[in-house]
Each structure stands twice: as C-alpha cells, then as structure tokens.
Amino acid sequence: MRNYDFKVRSKRWIKFLANSIYERIRGLDFSMVYVGELQRNVEEFHGYSMTDSGDMKRVLQRIPAIPQKSAFLDVGCGKGMCLKCAVEAGYKSVAGLDLDRHLLEIARKNMDRLNMKVDCIYANATDFARYADYDVFYFYNPFGKTIFQQVIGKLIDSQMERNREIWVAYYHPVYGDLFEQAGFTLEQEIRDKTRDTTTRIFYLPPRRDGEFRA
C-alpha cells in the first residue's frame, strides 16, 4: 500500500531529512534504507526500512500489556528504532532479533550511543529458542509467508514453556490472516500517519489447563 497524496509524501520526506540530519549530529543511524546481500538473495527476507518513531510510540501505547512487567522482542529489528521506543516506553527488558549482522552492528552502536541496555541477538527467527522469555512481539513484515507460519508456531509453542498472555504488533500486515488462523484474536487496527498502511495488534490468551493448540 502506498500513499500518493502530495502533502503526506512531502511531510514524510521533510521528516526523513530532519531525522537524517539529527542522527548525523548525534552519531546515530536509524533512517537510511538498507538492502544487503541477505535481502537481495533470499526471497523470504525483506529489506530494512525504519518504523516511524511517532507511529511506534502510538502502537506501544495501545498494547494493553504493562511495560514494567513485560519483555519486548522486535523480530527483524534492523537498526533498532523500535528497540529505542520500547526502552523509552518502560519495558522491563528489550531485545531485537535479526539475521543480518551488519544491521545488528548498527543497532548495537545506536543503543550504546543512547546508553540503552538492549540485547541485540543474531539468530534465524525459525531457529530462535527463547520466545518464551518475551511477552510483546513486534514485526515490520520482516519475512515471507512460510517463515511467518513457522515463527507463529514457535510463539504458540512457547506457551508450553511459560504460560502467559502474548501480544503481537504487526506493521504492514501482509500476512496478518496467519495470526487469526493460528488462534490469535485481532484486537485493534491502527492506521499510521506517515504511510498508507496499518498496524494490527493480535492477542493470544494464556492456555487453560489441559488445552492444546494446533
């Protein structure tokens, strides 16, 4: 989905330029679009584009989880803007997962520069074994349908390790239906202010005793 309204596009580019200048002054790098060898050569993995910080803050405010009691994981964290927003929102722990070492190194430098304690994890989302450590998950449509199906299955399986509420925020939800098919409930849909797309917030309740989810 794309918004071709001239005023919207103009505001987006002005904000992008302002962010770029501000980041250069502070020694940060969040804004610049990046497509590396992984994204060019593996169809299922998508390139990096930053979630707008204002939109991310609004999304975090709409998730009913209590930040001080919840752990946040950005799956496909890129350069770490959403990690920054989650720290600022007060989450008790914040981590980002990515398969691109170059992006992760930029994220680590950004977090160090901001003096933020964040765990930047190099791992394939389909192999990652610590989903049970987290309560709130963020996806900016980082990969294709097949991988999404596997990752959603891992989120559901993680309730066997630690039974808790699971909240998912999915920006640009191309494969949003997969969550509902897997038993998640669509709680909210939030339209952003910078692009013609939405964020869907999904919820998976704790398992009841003896409950089995396929």
Closest CA to 173 of 134, 147, 201, 193: 201
Q: Which residues contact 4 (CB under 8 A, 6 or more apart)?
A: none
What are the tens digits of pLDDT across the range 121-170? Answer: 999 999 999 999 999 999 999 988 999 999 999 999 999 999 999 999 99
pTM, two decimals, is 0.83
Name which of 50, 120, 63 is nearest 89 in CA terms. Answer: 63
Range scoring the smallest mean pLDDT among 1-15, 71-85, 146-160, 176-190 = 1-15
Q: Are 177 and 183 in contact (CB under 8 A)?
A: no
What gap in Å lies between CA 101 and CA 95, rounded to an integer? 15
| Spans of all domains in the chain | 6-204
Question: What ranges in 63-184 are assigned the alpha helix state H?
Answer: 81-89, 101-113, 145-161, 177-181
> Under a CB-based contact definition with an 8 Å cutoff, are residues 186 and 202 in contact?
yes
Predicted pLDDT at 51? 81
Residue 176 pLDDT > 60: yes
Per-residue pLDDT at 165:
97
| Domain 6-204, CATH number (from 3.40.50.300, 3.40.50.150, 3.30.530.20, 3.10.20.30) | 3.40.50.150
